[in-house]
A and B are shown apart, each in its own frame.
Chain A
Amino acid sequence: MAEKVLMKGNEAIAEAAIEAGCRHYFGYPITPQTEVAAYMSKRMPKIGGTFLQAESEIAAINMVYGVASTGKRVMTSSSSPGISLKAEGLSYLAGADLPALVVNVQRGGPGLGGIQPSQSDYFQATKGGGHGDYRMIVLAPASVQEMADLTMKGFDLADKYRMTAMILADGTMGQMMEPVEIKKPENQDFDKSWAVTGTKGQRAHNIVNSLFLSPEVLEKTNFERYERYAMIEENEAMAERYMMDDAEICVVAFGIAARVAKNAIVEARKSGIKVGLIRPITLWPFPKKELARAAESCHSFLSVELSMGQMIEDIRLAIDCKRPVALCNRAGGIIPSPEEVYAKIAELAKNGGCDK
């Protein structure tokens, strides 16, 4: 087992990406993810890789598109306003079925917003952001260790399904320091026969493209892509269950919100409230089955979010609105305190079964 080192979340992402075989990073400065770029700028030249500070987020994502076309592992990182600029490229990556890893260390919005942590890009990450019918695999780390592990997993999933994997972190996760073990990647072979590497005179030309002027062909590419998405929804959803075995109230939270929620749950348990947590690790695919199962035993749900309530819609969909779902949220860069979450849990416990 490799030894643990103390790292910032943003640095853990960068080191894990390198360990995963990523040798190309393109970025543009934006708070609060600058450590990723700074780390890459130090490391990449020493290992024969490319670090390039692009002229814009738009250029950066299109450089990613270029490297991805050649079948090599590539990434970019940014924060909310920068991800909006990358949305064009995300759509093209999807349309051309290219694998890439994109990191969003979220800050408050909309507009220029603020620089404090937020989860208000949930919709943008899980429902699109760019144009057209497409999905991204969205991974939500809740520790520095997960920043590293999910980065590595993100590259594998991206290659396996030929699509973008997004690490949806927040300013807290990016800046937080924790001991972390950078694991060795699993050796996996991915088919890259579609990549543009030069024909070397040995095959017909490969074309990386998202233009299909025939509606029939374009429809077919969409349907085929969604068959792949269905496989992902079936096989790749991940969630952590915490104190759920006898829970009557199910808190749902991801990332930093889940860490706060756990503290509140521990306190609530001391007061005899049967409450547990489901922490989605994949936001898309959303762990629907896990939530549907919880809806059989819990009388109410609580979504804890650093937004005006975005994931709450997916919770309601996952449980077919069978139970009430309350919201405990802060926005603008403010993290709800364990006391605030506790108060909401206690309220739900008092009104427990109000829908019964």
Chain B
Amino acid sequence: MIVFEKPKALTDVPLHYCPGCTHGIVHRLVAEVIDELGIEGKTIGVAPVGCSVMAYDYFACDMVEAAHGRAPAVATGIKRADPENHIVFTYQGDGDLASIGTAETVHAAARNENITIIFINNAIYGMTGGQMAPTSLPGQVTQTSPYGRDVKACGFPIRVCEMLATLDGPEYLERVAVNNVKNVKAAKKAIRKAFQNQVEGKGFSLVEVISSCPTNWGMTPQKALEWIDEKMIPHYPLGVYKDRSAAKED
């Protein structure tokens, strides 16, 4: 009996990510959820610009590559083209979603656009070689904050879930992490809910996934997972920030 195997919603193309990069874990979780909900044939994914730009090669469903930050707008178009028959998700990093694409993110949330957003927060620009991200921690050393992020000069990191939770629009916002088995299981549950919400027509569902970037953090893959516990989660607390339907039931 198979206990664990690669989900069908992933193609067999080898992932280009660095060793130990947790993008691969999150890709797999999304694919597992697509398999479990039986929605691969109607799912259309939107890839961002950043490390996961080539996600279009990895997911077996139809895929669209969007301009940097514009994935929520592109997803809006795809969803509105056939709301009954399209399940649409975007997969975006922190630079894409919380910097250049802030407006698209906020307004898709405000409209309660019936799409699913998987948001990878690893506090750095990976693809371009480790620059400061909108989510880089105060004091974090990056290629463009070599003396540590100075909040006086370049401001504070953005907590996306907390920010979006102030809006009336979004249906569901949760922050998870993928740095240990327990957290990965919780992350999958959240991702599943974010897709299920769309299937049920509930609206905008975003899962922020605290992820690692061993290469640009300058750590071993294991040390990077520990750093998530030590530094990232204290700044970005895990949990549900909005769940409108659950709130109604209470």
Do these two chains really belong together in a complex?
yes
CB pair A63–B67 under 8 Å, yes or no, is: no
Cβ contact of B65, chosen from A60, A68, A88, A211, cutoff 8 A: A211
B92-110 vs A: 1/0 string, CB under 8 Å?
0000000000011011000
User: What chain A residues lie within 8 Å of B64 (beta carbons)?
Assistant: 65-66, 69, 196, 207-209
The CA of A45 and the CA of B41, in the complex, are separated in Å by: 28
Q: Are B75 and A66 in contact (CB under 8 A)?
A: yes
Residues of A within 8 A of B80 (CB): 24, 50, 52, 63, 66-67
Query: Which A positions have Cβ atoms within 8 angstroms of B?
Result: 24, 26, 50, 52, 54-56, 58-60, 62-70, 72, 74, 88-89, 92, 96, 196-202, 205-211
Q: Is the CB of A196 within 8 A of B78?
A: yes
Contacts of B77 in A (CB 8 A): 24, 26, 62-70, 74
Q: Is the CB of A55 within 8 A of B107?
A: yes
> Which B residue sits closest to A63, measured CB to CB?
B77
B81 at the interface (CB under 8 A from A): yes
A52 to B79 Cα, complex, angstroms: 13
Give residues of chain B (79-93) contacting chain A, Cβ–Cβ below 8 Å.
79-82, 85-87
Which residues from chain A contact B63 at a C-beta distance below 8 Å? 196, 205-209
B117 to chain A, nearest CB (A): 14
Q: Is the CB of B107 within 8 A of A59?
A: yes
Residues of B contacting A65 in the complex (Cβ-Cβ under 8 angstroms): 64, 66-67, 70, 73-74, 77
- A105 to chain B: closest CB distance in Å? 22
- Contact between A205 and B60, CB atoms less than 8 A apart: yes
Measured between beta carbons, the chain B residues less than 8 angstroms from A206 are 62-63
Interface residues of B (CB under 8 A from A): 11, 40-44, 46, 53-54, 56-57, 59-67, 70, 73-82, 85-87, 103-104, 106-107
Flag if A63 contacts B62 (CB, 8 Å).
Answer: no
Report B247 CB to chain A, min CB distance, Å.
26
B73's partner among A63, A200, A202, A208 (CB-CB below 8 A) is: A63
- The reply to whether A54 and B73 form a contact with Cβ atoms under 8 Å apart is yes
List the A residue with the shortest CB-CB distance to B85.
A198
A198 and B78 within 8 A (CB): no
A-chain residues with CB within 8 Å of residue B53 when the two chains form the complex: 211
Taking CB atoms, residues of chain A closer than 8 Å to B61 are 198-199, 205
Would you list 27 pairs from A and B whose C-beta atoms are within 8 A, ordered by A residue?
A: A54-B107, A56-B103, A58-B70, A62-B77, A63-B77, A66-B76, A66-B79, A67-B77, A67-B80, A70-B77, A196-B44, A196-B64, A197-B86, A198-B86, A200-B41, A201-B40, A202-B41, A205-B11, A205-B62, A205-B63, A206-B63, A207-B62, A207-B63, A208-B64, A209-B56, A209-B65, A211-B54
CA distance A67 to B88 in the complex (A): 12
B56 & A198 in contact (Cβ 8 Å cutoff): no
Partner of B56 from the list A55, A200, A207 (CB cut-off 8 Å) is A207
Task: Give CA–CA (A59, B107) in the complex, Å.
Answer: 10
The CA-CA distance from A63 to B81 in the complex, in Å, is 10
A70 nearest in chain B by CB position: B81
Contact of A208 with B65 in the complex, beta carbons under 8 Å: yes
